[in-house]
Chains A and B, each alone.
Chain A
């Protein structure tokens, strides 16, 4: 067993664990901050997006289509190299989080919208016929049903978000991916480092997926 482990370079990886741990914590921090930002941004966009006022809807749709059809990496660069030019001296961490939250918020807005629109017209008509105001119908009839429908796609989107945090390595944030690259370049270690990093990501995304599924089942049971 020891021979196998040493063949795969695990003794070396063990010696580098503090570095990977730092990177892992940063990956968690960026994921958490971006998730909160993305959900808030998506929620902020979906109301105006569905408002039906052309002068509001058109710019929002243009923004959503633009960020959804261009690489996140370029948006991270734009944020990192561009925001300081606008007089916003933000840290690399903040620039990365803003770019990730901006793209995933746009995806989440469309998921929220699809969820609300998937609720049948009859539900609206029924609620209004009972004398509810539009606001009350939305809050008490439409949203509770929409929430159940959007939980699985939101979960998928957030798993993609966790994986996308690896891209901030391109602006010099030493998260998990860049910590692996630096260990390789500094010590001449070999590719086993990235097998280890890949395993950590797999564990992270799988754990997150399982937690989401449990939460989803709880929510379903409660309703």
Chain B
């Protein structure tokens, strides 16, 4: 019954590796970018938070697919000779970054005020306070939403196939066009994505519950 799926599994596994690679690089770098921007925005005054807020607003108001097309067409014309893969990874990084900025900023702001006041009273400088007092607490708070965000972005890596970058979803379409076995292949590939995403969803749910008991 699943003979076509099984016969094409090696090819789909290659696609899975490419998907995982896109996810690790795109979501990983995007998360780092967002953490940097989020913490900066929560700790520094002046015009910086407004600037970062504008970045978040513009990125989140537009579909990630449009960002991918934009990066795909724009970077070469700006004289940046990058491959298709690099262009779409750029879009993934910027998109992940915008969501993570909000998560990181929220987590830093959620650390109770008296913690920072106590740290100041102890004579800590801003950076020491950030490292020893704020970040350890903020990181705990932000892990569940970061995991959920990663799931969202792993699913979004499939959209690069629309721009023409080869990965699991692109491979699935190729196989379906050749074999016409839409149900076997698409359901099979959905199961592969599910096996990647669901453990992360469960981990986020578990951690969220555990941390909420502490309060």
Contact = CB atoms under 8 A, between A and B. Distances in A.
A81 B69 contact: no
A78 B190 contact: yes
A205 B65 CA distance: 15
Contact of B62 (A75, A169, A193, A198): A198
B194 A167 contact: no
A209 B38 CA distance: 23
B162 interface: yes
B156 interface: yes
A206 B172 contact: no
A43 to B, nearest CB: 23
B63 A66 contact: no
Contact of A78 (B69, B73, B77, B187): B187
Interface residues of A, number: 36
A116 B172 CA distance: 39
Interface string A47-88: 000000000000000000110111111110110011001000
What is the interface of chain B mostly: helix, strand, loop, or mixed? Answer: helix
Contacts of B186: 74, 77-78, 81-82
Given A74-B190, A74-B193, A202-B62, A195 B172 contact: no
Contact of A191 (B62, B73, B151, B159): B73
A77 B173 contact: yes
Interface string B151-174: 100011011011000000100110
Contacts of B173: 77
Interface stretch (A122-130, A132-140, A176-184, A215-223): A176-184
A167 B151 contact: no
Contact of A166 (B58, B63, B155): B63
Contacts of B51: none
B6 interface: no
Interface string B179-210: 00011001101100110011001000000000
B197 A69 contact: yes
B61 interface: yes
B74 A70 contact: no
Contact of B169 (A73, A194, A198): A73
A14 to B, nearest CB: 19
B61 A202 contact: yes
A41 interface: no
A150 B201 CA distance: 21
A16 interface: no
**Most chain A Cβ neighbours within 10 Å, of B151, B161, B190:** B190
A81 B176 contact: yes
15 contacts: A69-B198, A70-B155, A70-B190, A71-B158, A73-B161, A74-B172, A77-B169, A78-B186, A78-B187, A81-B176, A167-B159, A180-B69, A190-B73, A191-B70, A201-B66
Q: Which 3 A-B pairs have the closest CB atoms?
A: A81-B182, A191-B74, A71-B158
